[in-house]
Structure 1
Amino acid sequence: MSSHNGSGMKSRNGRNSEMTQQNVKLKVLEFANKVSNKKMGSKGAITAADPRYYIMEPVVTEEMAEVALVMEFRKPMSAEELGKLCGKPTELVEKLAWELSMAGVCFVNKKDGVDKYWYDTWVPGIMEMMVNNKENVAKYPQIARAFEEYGRVVGPMSVGKFPIGVGVMRVIPIETAIAGETRRASYEEISKYLNEAHRFSVSDCSCRTSREAMGEGCGHLKEDMCIQMDHAAEYYIRTGRGREITREEAFEIIRRAEENGLMHQIPNLDGTGKTHAICNCCGCSCYAMRIAQMFQNSDMVRSNYVAHVDAEKCVACGECVENCPTNAAKLGTKLYQINPVVVKPADTPRDTKWGPEKFNVDYRTNRKNVVDGGTSPCKTECPAHIAIQGYIKLASQGKYTEALELIKHENPFPAICGRICPHKCESACSRCEIDKAVAIDEIKKFIADQDLNVKNRYIPKLRHHYGKKIAIIGAGPAGLSCAYYLAIDGYKVTVFEKQEALGGMMTLGIPNYRLEKDVVNAEIDILKELGVEFKTGVEVGKDVSLDELRNQDYKAFYLAIGAQKGRKLGIEGEDHRDVISGVDFLREVNLDRASKLSGNVVVIGGGNVAIDVARTAVRMEAKNVGMYCLESRSQMPALEEEIEEALDEAIQIHNSWGPKRIVVENNKVVGVEFKKCVSVFDENKRFNPKFDPKDELVLEADTVLMAIGQSSDISFLQPEKHGIKINERGMIICDPRTQETTADGVFLAGDLAHGPKLMIDAIASGKRAARSIYQKLTGEKLAFEIVELHIPIEQYGREMGYEKLKRQALAVTPVEQRISDTHALVEKGFTCPQAKVESSRCLDCGVNTVFDGNRCILCGACADVCPELCLKLVPVAELAGDKNFEDLTNIVKEQKRTDELTAIIKDEEKCIRCALCAIRCPADAITMERYSFKECLI
């Protein structure tokens, strides 16, 4: 269908608007007009192409419509009364009226022992009830489409027509967000409606049911999410749309909805302080929320509150940004900006001509978490985009459990990462412009170490209880990260690991002097607490096949075998038994199966793995250890601090040399022949080394350890058998966004998808895969794009002579002591006083929460999720006389409803810039803005 509806957008119903008169059910069409207060044939009358007609067309007969036509709006009538009006026998009317109620076209309640029937509005009302007939929706998908289409028809007509608080649906704030407000009205509290009702039922969310039936599901909780009360509950129970629940169960559903990031709305047509239903809504599927987002008409659903952030408490964690259902919160700056990004005041339907050019038609698939100035430098640089400034501020306050919870929102292994992460975040730290970067990794390690004590351990709450079985193949960081987040979603996760030890490269590839194995085991224990099952010594493809696992009812598979196979150079002599791949060498040492070394050891490679191999060789009693790599010192991929520690341990590093051959005499390695490398990369910055054939040298060697890169062994997969396609480079083909392979339900870990990267990249890859698997198994079809701007740091002003605070020195084990013991840690970590002092060095520069008042619907989701309680909803009347809020109070005075309105207030001193509010915001009204420092006069 190519006709256009009132919004100026193409209709999506797929029906033929050229219906012949013979195909139209005229009585059904007449009833559609009656409900819409229209007359057949008049201007603006409902036609057969209208969703108000075609939602009923497949399930309402002409005879049923004749009975419906004598029903009245919200006036209960018995079958006997209806029969007198339509001239049909009471028994027949009773049958037809019951069929109408089963279809969802009318209500039925027993009053004084007699069934009485009436019809309600289209929305909220008839359309929701029709969609809640699951059997009909499955049989006639046009019912689901009509519900979606109706909002597109009437949405533009409602723009600017409804003052705040009088739309057909109204947001009710999450109650914890307004707790303690002495002036709050009882009709703004969910508990008031539940406590005053006498009968309750619960049904599936009709909006998410409709979206899912159209193949556009969002993955938010759908089952048992909408609560009906009193007359609506009776109707839902009797017609099988919902099941009866107790008041206590209703409160539990509300709690569960809030924990899963949903907010509350009620039908707003029953009078002040009255309603017959409570909807637990998301910003991506709710059709009432679409009015606020797609048509930019937040007044239609907005509650009587305004957001306030306590700046002193805010730590910029971003939780409000992430959770805002309307994207009303974003991260932004709070300091004087030298080159400010000009932010134009938002137009509103109240004061601007509103048309399709103002609509946000892509609101479901694009969500902006930051303002145009970008987000914080440390968070940007981190591959997992952890709210670094947030957990540092919490740590400075001694709130280690809260800090840990914030970290684990993005990274389930902070104690491990704190020891081995290359901390790119520190290179971007704004403190570098003053003295030295904040010791972010050491602070994270200190926070995480508090959790290693079983008594203090943080175990996240389960968000769902889906119960479907998922197989994860490989117990490395990507696989374990995926398992962690899927377990929180309530899936039955089994991890298959061919080694006897869990942890992958964390256990088998990282030397003990950097990472204690009891730390790895302690963080893996959290997964066991979450219900993850581990099967070690099981090699998938050999001991059990993918087909066998499918037959055991596993619904999805995550291939996370990592890159544990050392690459070869293809040079003479490299297959000799004394030429060992670096990853194999580290594995054998970590499993206590390696023999001591002797004589001269040559390590080939210049990355972090090569450094680990060389330093481990020293600890395995090698007489002399030399590293040879193609790169110059400045080009070496290894971390500078790792290089310095290697030099401290008497390891010789020789730059700009590439191996030509391994010299073998009498079946024994005796040396390595090298050639001079004059360049590593070509003009296009591609790896393409060039050598000087005239400059060569031969070195004595008894053992050669190759650390030139790793690859994955995918031989176990039998790709053709399972429908997994391989590209010309021998890598598995997958969707870069979802990580799903060409085989249905088979997903890929980071190393397999894009080659070896850092552990933090693997963790981020695992979380993305968990999200994709969740989408797959819940029927979610949305392709969300969270827009985080990663742009160069802008300059912001600060006062001259900003205090310099020395970075805390880290205690290290003396060289002689550490090289004599493979288990001796090099770095000992911060003490509690050191951690607090170092946390105080953070400039709090990262980000600031910015609210888009026009998008904000005042649902309280941001205040509910804020870890520092720096957001609260307050009555606007309380702000009268406060000069800080003069602009706000002047605006609301114009509406002459000051006593009814409230505000969300932010305490800047409390805000830790974590961004949780922006993430949760359903209206896309919160963003985060970031800043850095340049010394200047202001």
Structure 2
Amino acid sequence: MTKERVLDLANKISRVKRGSRSEITTADPEYKILAPIMTDEMAEAVLCLELKQPKSAAEVAELCGKDLATTEALLWRSAEVGAAFVNEIDGVDKYWLDIWVPGHMEMIVNNKELIAQYPELGAAFDEYGKKKGPMAAGNIPVGAGPMRVIPIERAIDGDTRSASFEEVSKYLNDNSVFSLSDCACRASREAIGEGCGHLKEDMCIQMGHAAEYYIRTGRGKPITKEQAIEVIKRAEANGLMHQIPNLDGSGKTHAICNCCGCGCFAMRLANMWRNPDMVRSNYQVQIDEANCVACGECVEACPTNALRLGKKLCKSSESKKPDFEHPFDVDWGPDKWNPEYRTNKEVVEGEGTSPCKAECPAHIGIQGYIKLAAQGRYQEALELIKKENPLPAVCGRICPRKCESDCTRGDIDDPIAIDEIKKFIAEQDLNADNRFLPTIKNRYDKPIAIIGSGPAGLSCAYFLAIEGYPVTVFEKQPVLGGMLTLGIPSYRLEKEVINAEIDVLKTLGVEFKTGVEVGKDLSLAELKELGFAAFYLAIGAQKGRMLNLEGEDATGVESGVDFLREVNLGQREQLKGDTIVIGGGNVAIDVARSAARLGADQVSIYCLESRQSMPAHESEVEEAIDEEVAIFNEWGPTRILTRDGNVTGVEFQRCLSTFDDQGRFNPTFDANQRIEVAADNVILSVGQAMDWGELLADTKMELNRNQTLIVDPTTFQSGQEEIFSGGDIVTGPNFAIDAIAQGKEGAISIHRFVQHGQSLVIGRVQRNYTSFNKQELHLSGYDRAPRQQISHADGKTSRTTFKDLRGTFTAEQVQKETERCLGCGVVVADPYMCVGCGACTMKCRFDAVSLVKNFDAEGVELKQVKKVIIKHALKRKLNITVNKPIRKIKSLLTSRS
């Protein structure tokens, strides 16, 4: 049933009359936000109030014909719910009305009890913005919008700094009363289940009369100026930006909001309707291409997607860019909007960016840490790496180097030795005195359980710990590290390196429990009963595959995975006699080289693939050959030869091809070409499999045909909503860096899942980095400086020890190698979409991003704003009318050409 007096109030706050063309009806958000929280009797009292004209309860009682006590109660209750402002003025409580935004909408949703009881209040605030946003596009000049971005002050230090009304410190210094409240926009988003992962709590600062109101009505807690400054610093450290209510007049405001581009309703004006003029500061971004290293930190921090990664090197022919359109110049309808801006943020220009950034599964800012290393800023380089990869020392030894495989420098001579530079930088993390320890952002009381301590599990634990969660890692083996420890020999990855990087996680508060098999010793349901709010499964592919060959069960035949596990646990004795390893991947190489170190007389690898198409890394193959491991290509086993239950050899047949015309694994053989090879030991290294045990019992999780877990490809959420996963049990056997990247994404999802009202996808950066087409580049005229090389022990020496004898670059070599980098990526800015917040400048370590003052607009007082907007809107209308025929002619000429 319609509350008539409440509907009258909605029209009064909107400054329209019932019955007019623009009247507010029961279908409008202005009524919907009042209806659940207001009675008609409350509305009768509030209808006697006026916009920004304080009145006492006695004055209102006389106007509305109610006794003073009743009027006081009705007005106070209205102020509590947010339908009226209240302040003590000259010793008397006085009440008044404000505008909807910034005003009553925020006041209503910031009442914690109301928004919890009536989530439709958040929906109404959201709907109000969607109703008003299209009307404003192009019609409000810079400086006259209801909200205004205030640059991060450090971003405008120096010559560009000119006006105090664009400095946060000015507003803090002008006030003495402060309060701290939740973010109203994010509270609304959360209420309707569309949170972006940026949480609402303790984010917005009120000052002066607004602070008094917020404190007295319980919306905010009182804070000091010093505490307000700390909130500002915390917001900036977390990548947030500042905005102020902008209709109090130039240099005046009653609040400082700390906003994100994916949650803020004011920033939606810039993002959804592509109308940044309505909220922008006087500043716009400027990129110094000479200093930019395309690390991407600023790109992912930008709240309006005004920055993207592109290419710095010239291409053969410049593409023609389309004419830029602005809402002041053309009609600005739905065809110009971006309604999906919360899920379609682009990180790369259409032409692509540097291959090293794009091809790295974790998308580390490789150009960035190379430049930092070149400048001797090793600790900062380490910090940059660990924003994406918490195990740099591990990866410096075992990474597949996808970044190097596609490095632009490789088209000139040899690719940059990226992995060796990273290894040098990461050596600092092995020394407890030099370790980089990230700052823990928050403190949450929602425990998270990680099942498995391999690269995916460790990565997820690391990023959750930084976010502020208590994390416990359960590992069924007696040692930590998963396949890093049990599947990779020490001559490639010494256990001290793994343990040193795990020690960082322990310092961050991550708890580890070894010798606990979840699914056997404890079920997931039992862990949930113990209070764990979410789970991350990262048990890896720790089971070796067999081929179901005749004789496979003979003594002396085993899987490569089991063999390496025993070697790494110190449970393996010396091997005697000749050993055959079947398989052509990295595990087969590791098995063969380990067998040689255990004393096997002759070690031979037999695989289906040709020498050129072996999946093992080329450098690993060469080192195996140097250690006198014999490799026989294009042979497939047909049966294991045995005598009295013991292996005596293997029968092979010639492999003619490995894949069919569709690229599917489908080997063909010549059965007429067979050989028998004698052996005392046969180790099958033909793949890895999952050992699920009872882990999935009584859950809704499902498996693919290959026994990998079915998860959402973006969020890594399984069929059991509180369980997320990553690594080999999702992808099948893969590289550590891929698992590390998925661990971070799992941590992002878990944070969102355990926090009320957060979406797993909204506001999430998809990180769809793509490489540019190197064929379009001019690569002539560059130096031919040789790639630096690390020292290697000869095979006869290296095969006698499990110690890693590979060298590390010297500082001098790092300097020489970093100079070979072409710096082929760069940040590309769209100045129009930039709102001048300065968040990008806080991320840049190279003085490549700055703000430049391009406007000179000041805030407008509410009573003057209508006149300013009408004047601007009329000028816009004339501008569009004049430009229409010109644009039509240009369009015709362009289509003909």
**Above 0.5 in TM-score?**
yes
Partner of 2:801: 821
Question: CA separation of 1:123/1:463 partners in 2, compared to 1, >3 Å: closer, same or farther?
Answer: same
What does 1:379-458 align with in structure 2 at a 5 Å threshold? Answer: 379-458=357-436
Q: In 2, are the aligned partners of 1:508 and 1:591 still within 8 Å (CA)? A: yes
Report the CA distance between 1:805 and its aligned residue.
Answer: 0.7
| Greater Cα shift, 132-141 or 82-91 | 132-141
Q: In 2, are the aligned partners of 1:297 and 1:349 still within 8 Å (CA)? A: yes
CA distance in 2, matches of 1:403, 1:481: 19
CA distance in 2, matches of 1:467, 1:375: 40
Higher relative contact order (CA 8 A, sep 6+): 1
CA distance in 2, matches of 1:391, 1:475: 27
Q: Which amino acid aligns with 2:232?
A: I
Q: Which amino acid aligns with 2:790?
A: L
Report the count of equivalent residues: 854
Q: Deviations over 1:583-620 (max 9, x none)?
A: 11111111211110111000000001100110111111
The DSSP-based 3-state class of the residue aligned with 2:242 is strand
Q: In 2, are the aligned partners of 1:469 and 1:556 still within 8 Å (CA)? A: yes
Q: Deviations over 1:145-196 (max 9, x none)?
A: 1100111111111112222122110001112212234642222111221222
The DSSP-based 3-state class of the residue aligned with 1:101 is helix
The DSSP-based 3-state class of the residue aligned with 1:228 is strand
Question: CA separation of 1:341/1:579 partners in 2, compared to 1, >3 Å: closer, same or farther?
Answer: farther
Partner of 2:33: 55
**Higher fraction of strand:** 1
Q: In 2, are the aligned partners of 1:148 and 1:287 still within 8 Å (CA)? A: yes
Q: Give the gaps of 5 or more residues in structure 2.
A: 857-871, 873-897
CA distance in 1, matches of 2:631, 2:510: 44
CA distance in 1, matches of 2:753, 2:321: 38
Partner of 2:716: 739
Q: In 2, are the aligned partners of 1:318 and 1:387 still within 8 Å (CA)? A: yes
Q: Which amino acid aligns with 1:827?
A: R
The DSSP-based 3-state class of the residue aligned with 1:589 is helix
Q: Deviations over 1:94-152 (max 9, x none)?
A: 01101111110111111122111001110000000011112222222221111001111
Q: In 1, are the aligned partners of 2:354 and 2:771 still within 8 Å (CA)? A: no
Report the CA distance between 1:410 and its aligned residue.
Answer: 1.1
Q: In 2, are the aligned partners of 1:339 and 1:794 still within 8 Å (CA)? A: no
CA distance in 1, matches of 2:827, 2:285: 11
What does 1:148-297 align with in structure 2 at a 5 Å threshold? Answer: 148-181=126-159, 183-297=161-275
Q: Give the gaps of 5 or more residues in structure 1.
A: 1-22, 879-894, 896-938
Report the CA distance between 1:800 and its aligned residue.
Answer: 4.1
CA distance in 2, matches of 1:443, 1:128: 51
The DSSP-based 3-state class of the residue aligned with 1:295 is coil
In the alignment, is residue 370 of structure 1 matched against residue 370 of structure 2?
Answer: no
Q: Which amino acid aligns with 1:307?
A: V
Q: Which amino acid aligns with 2:148?
A: R
Match of 1:511 among 462, 478, 489: 489
Report the CA distance between 1:787 and its aligned residue.
Answer: 5.7
Report the CA distance between 1:755 and its aligned residue.
Answer: 0.8
In the alignment, is residue 42 of structure 1 matched against residue 26 of structure 2?
Answer: no
Partner of 1:812: 792
CA distance in 1, matches of 2:127, 2:481: 50
The DSSP-based 3-state class of the residue aligned with 2:288 is strand
Partner of 1:566: 544
CA distance in 1, matches of 2:9, 2:596: 87
Partner of 1:923: none
Q: In 2, are the aligned partners of 1:341 and 1:372 still within 8 Å (CA)? A: no
Q: In 2, are the aligned partners of 1:364 and 1:782 still within 8 Å (CA)? A: no
Partner of 1:753: 730
Partner of 2:573: 595
Q: Deviations over 1:442-496 (max 9, x none)?
A: 1111111123222221111112222310000111001000101111100000001
Q: In 2, are the aligned partners of 1:366 and 1:787 still within 8 Å (CA)? A: no
Q: Deviations over 1:896-938 (max 9, x none)?
A: xxxxxxxxxxxxxxxxxxxxxxxxxxxxxxxxxxxxxxxxxxx
Match of 2:298 among 315, 320, 327: 320
Match of 1:840 among 812, 816, 819: 819
Question: CA separation of 1:785/1:537 partners in 2, compared to 1, >3 Å: closer, same or farther?
Answer: same
CA distance in 1, matches of 2:443, 2:292: 32
Partner of 1:831: 810
Q: Which amino acid aligns with 2:800?
A: S
Q: In 2, are the aligned partners of 1:620 and 1:822 still within 8 Å (CA)? A: no
CA RMSD of aligned residues (A): 1.6
Q: Which amino acid aligns with 1:858?
A: G
Q: Deviations over 1:69-114 (max 9, x none)?
A: 1101111110000111111111111011011111101111111221
Report the CA distance between 1:754 and its aligned residue.
Answer: 2.0
Q: In 1, are the aligned partners of 2:348 and 2:770 still within 8 Å (CA)? A: no
Report the CA distance between 1:869 and its aligned residue.
Answer: 2.8
Match of 1:344 among 318, 322, 325: 322
Q: In 1, are the aligned partners of 2:310 and 2:828 still within 8 Å (CA)? A: yes
Partner of 1:935: none
The DSSP-based 3-state class of the residue aligned with 2:527 is helix
CA distance in 1, matches of 2:123, 2:462: 36
Question: CA separation of 1:789/1:405 partners in 2, compared to 1, >3 Å: closer, same or farther?
Answer: closer
Report the CA distance between 1:797 and its aligned residue.
Answer: 4.9
Partner of 1:898: none
CA distance in 1, matches of 2:767, 2:476: 39
Q: In 2, are the aligned partners of 1:630 and 1:658 still within 8 Å (CA)? A: yes
CA distance in 2, matches of 1:42, 1:645: 84
CA distance in 2, matches of 1:90, 1:327: 54
Match of 2:750 among 773, 777, 784: 773
Partner of 2:770: 790
In the alignment, is residue 664 of structure 1 matched against residue 649 of structure 2?
Answer: no
Identity of matched residues, %: 57
The DSSP-based 3-state class of the residue aligned with 1:583 is helix
Q: In 2, are the aligned partners of 1:293 and 1:363 still within 8 Å (CA)? A: yes
Partner of 1:298: 276
Match of 1:118 among 80, 92, 96: 96
Q: In 1, are the aligned partners of 2:447 and 2:532 still within 8 Å (CA)? A: yes
Q: Deviations over 1:525-567 (max 9, x none)?
A: 1111111111111111222221221111000111111011100
The DSSP-based 3-state class of the residue aligned with 1:236 is helix
Q: Which amino acid aligns with 2:257?
A: C
CA distance in 1, matches of 2:233, 2:178: 16
Partner of 1:6: none
In the alignment, is residue 632 of structure 1 matched against residue 610 of structure 2?
Answer: yes
Q: In 2, are the aligned partners of 1:341 and 1:373 still within 8 Å (CA)? A: no
The DSSP-based 3-state class of the residue aligned with 1:475 is coil
In the alignment, is residue 604 of structure 1 matched against residue 582 of structure 2?
Answer: yes
| Greater Cα shift, 179-188 or 702-711 | 179-188
Report the CA distance between 1:780 and its aligned residue.
Answer: 1.9
Q: In 2, are the aligned partners of 1:372 and 1:789 still within 8 Å (CA)? A: no
What does 1:58-73 align with in structure 2 at a 5 Å threshold? Answer: 58-73=36-51
Q: In 2, are the aligned partners of 1:377 and 1:793 still within 8 Å (CA)? A: no
Q: Which amino acid aligns with 2:246?
A: N
In the alignment, is residue 701 of structure 1 matched against residue 679 of structure 2?
Answer: yes
In the alignment, is residue 141 of structure 1 matched against residue 119 of structure 2?
Answer: yes
Q: Which amino acid aligns with 2:174?
A: E
Question: CA separation of 1:788/1:726 partners in 2, compared to 1, >3 Å: closer, same or farther?
Answer: closer
Q: Deviations over 1:792-834 (max 9, x none)?
A: 62445547432111111221112222111122x2421211100
In the alignment, is residue 79 of structure 1 matched against residue 71 of structure 2?
Answer: no
Q: Deviations over 1:837-891 (max 9, x none)?
A: 011101111x11111111100000001111223222243499xxxxxxxxxxxxx
Question: CA separation of 1:805/1:741 partners in 2, compared to 1, >3 Å: closer, same or farther?
Answer: same
Q: Deviations over 1:195-234 (max 9, x none)?
A: 2211111111111111111111111021011111121111
